[in-house]
């Protein structure tokens, strides 16, 4: 099985496989647009598996780590179970060190299926619905400005400031990741400004009459900006019943605000799966406690760069990480278990970690659990936004 980036003239073959895999209509004369690059697996010269590839930088404890997102993973139905998907993931894993890729993400159709390739579900996301009628305690506000693209530099800076407050949020630097044609797309982005005129939050939304105004993105730097944006959105309470904010999690900023409001409802909308491609670099990038600690992890990952025992000794928020092939250890982790405990921000204890599949506690690992407390964590960018 050959794995390589497909050529532009092979893009239509990828689209045909995608249509056959997911059962949607395809017209070769009309449906010929595809995000490039696409990584493909070829059997006897024929493309049988493909995936769009999106590079990102994402925040992890204040460090920017290179990540790869695989989107639209598909395989020719009659060629399934022939090793094509496995070959594609193996190639990504082999090239991760050379390309300095630390993390991988995807939207899983099946959690158990992608666990076979080292991925684990990181955090469930929710759509939070609040009746506009129950938001009358928030003062109406018009300290906002429609995003038109002219403010890209300032707006991008605002988003990236917000991104550094939550683990795994991506850094954005491309205009395609924001919508600057609100009238054409019925997709509106408004920037909130504080009393000094500085941008300190924004909301991106669509309106589905008469049910809800749906905010796909809501990011703020302070509580005043959050209330200011909600006060602005109340201007739509005459045409829709509810405010819905997507891609939230328990403990998110909007969740903390909405939890005290009668009638608030949560609907689980899935989650993102993640994988560690460079365990050593991730351990070195973690923010550790001030007090001294040490622990050792036996990594049961199949990737060569992640195999072995990793010794971590930390103090004053930093750590030294060394690797050895054998000996004693405190905790063993499969690749999916490592993603859960190190990336998801769940803040496990020895008691709760024992219930995570792929975790084995051998010695006292209290210093390990102190090093990975509960953290605000959210990954939302699975492809270019626009």
**What string of DSSP letters covers 76-124?**
-GGGTTSSHHHHHHHHHHHHHHHTT--EEEE--S-HHHHHTTT-EEEEE
pLDDT class of 24 with cuts at 50, 70, 90? confident
pLDDT at 268: 92
Predicted TM-score (pTM) above 0.85? yes
In this predicted structure, the answer to whether residue 131 has a pLDDT above a threshold of 90 is yes
Mean pLDDT, the chain, whole residue set: 94
In this predicted structure, the answer to whether residue 385 has a pLDDT above a threshold of 60 is no
pLDDT tens sequence across 47-101 = 999 999 999 999 999 999 999 999 999 999 998 888 999 999 999 999 999 999 9
Q: Which residues of 145-177 are buried (b: 16+ CB within 10 A; e: fewer)?
A: bebeeebeeebbebbbebbeebbbbbebeeeee
pLDDT at 213: 98
C-alpha 157/C-alpha 176 separation (Å) is 15
Our CA angle for 62, 306, 350, nearest 5°, is 70
pLDDT at 315: 98
What percentage of the chain carries pLDDT values higher than 90?
88
pLDDT tens sequence across 230-286 = 999 999 999 999 999 999 988 899 999 999 999 999 999 878 999 999 999 999 999
pLDDT at 261: 96
Q: Are 377 and 167 spatial neighbours (Cβ–Cβ below 8 Å)?
A: yes
- Rounded to 10 degrees, what is the CA torsion of 60, 114, 108, 382? 40
Q: Are 293 and 265 spatial neighbours (Cβ–Cβ below 8 Å)?
A: no
Residues in contact with 126: Cβ distance below 8 Å, sequence separation at least 6, in sequence order: 248, 249, 250, 255, 266, 267, 268, 269
Residue-range domains of the chain with CATH:
2-106 (3.40.630.30), 126-269 (3.40.630.30), 278-371 (3.30.1050.10)
pLDDT class of 147 with cuts at 50, 70, 90? very high
C-alpha 297/C-alpha 311 separation (Å) is 7
Of residues 27 and 343, which shows the higher confidence score?
A: 343
Residue 71 φ then ψ, to 5°: -130, 145
What percentage of the chain carries pLDDT values higher than 70?
97
Residue 362 φ then ψ, to 5°: -105, -45
Residues in contact with 305: Cβ distance below 8 Å, sequence separation at least 6, in sequence order: 96, 97, 277, 278, 279, 280
Tokens of 360: 């084995």
> Largest Cα–Cα distance of the chain, in whole Å?
67
In this predicted structure, the answer to whether residue 382 has a pLDDT above a threshold of 60 is yes
């Amino acid at each position: 099985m050959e794995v390589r980036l497909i050529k532009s003239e092979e893009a239509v073959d990828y689209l045909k496989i995608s249509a056959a895999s997911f059962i949607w209509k395809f017209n070769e004369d009309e449906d010929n647009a595809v995000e490039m690059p696409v990584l493909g697996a070829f059997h006897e010269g024929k493309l049988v598996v493909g995936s769009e590839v999106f590079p990102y930088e994402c925040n992890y404890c204040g460090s920017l780590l290179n990540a790869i997102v695989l989107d639209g993973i598909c395989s020719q139905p009659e060629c399934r179970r022939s090793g094509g998907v496995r070959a594609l993931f193996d190639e990504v894993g082999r090239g991760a060190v050379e390309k300095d890729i630390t993390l991988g993400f995807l939207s899983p159709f099946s959690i158990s299926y992608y666990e076979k390739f080292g991925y684990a579900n990181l955090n469930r996301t929710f759509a939070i619905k609040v009746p506009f009628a129950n938001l009358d305690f928030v003062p109406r506000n018009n300290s906002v400005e429609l995003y038109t693209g002219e403010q890209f530099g300032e707006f991008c800076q605002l988003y990236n400031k917000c991104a550094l407050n939550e683990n795994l949020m991506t850094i954005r630097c491309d205009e395609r990741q924001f919508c600057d044609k609100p009238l054409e797309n019925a997709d509106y982005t408004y920037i909130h400004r504080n009393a000094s005129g500085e941008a300190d939050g924004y909301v991106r939304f669509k309106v589905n009459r008469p049910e809800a105004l749906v905010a796909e993105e809501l990011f703020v730097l302070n509580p005043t900006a959050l209330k200011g944006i909600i006060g602005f959105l109340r201007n739509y309470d005459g045409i829709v019943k509810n405010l819905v904010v997507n891609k939230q999690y328990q403990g998110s900023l909007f969740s903390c605000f909405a939890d005290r409001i009668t009638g608030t409802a949560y609907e689980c909308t899935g989650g993102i799966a993640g994988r560690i491609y460079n365990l050593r670099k991730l351990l070195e990038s973690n923010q550790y406690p001030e007090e001294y600690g040490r622990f050792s992890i036996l990594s049961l990952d199949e990737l060569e760069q992640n195999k072995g025992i990793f010794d971590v000794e930390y103090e004053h928020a930093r750590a030294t990480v060394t690797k050895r092939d054998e000996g004693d250890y405190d905790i063993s982790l499969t690749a999916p278990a490592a993603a859960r405990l190190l990336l998801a921000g769940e803040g496990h204890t020895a008691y709760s970690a024992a219930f995570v599949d792929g975790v084995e506690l051998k010695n006292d690992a209290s210093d390990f659990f102190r090093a990975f407390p509960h953290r605000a964590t959210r990954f939302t960018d699975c492809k270019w936004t626009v």
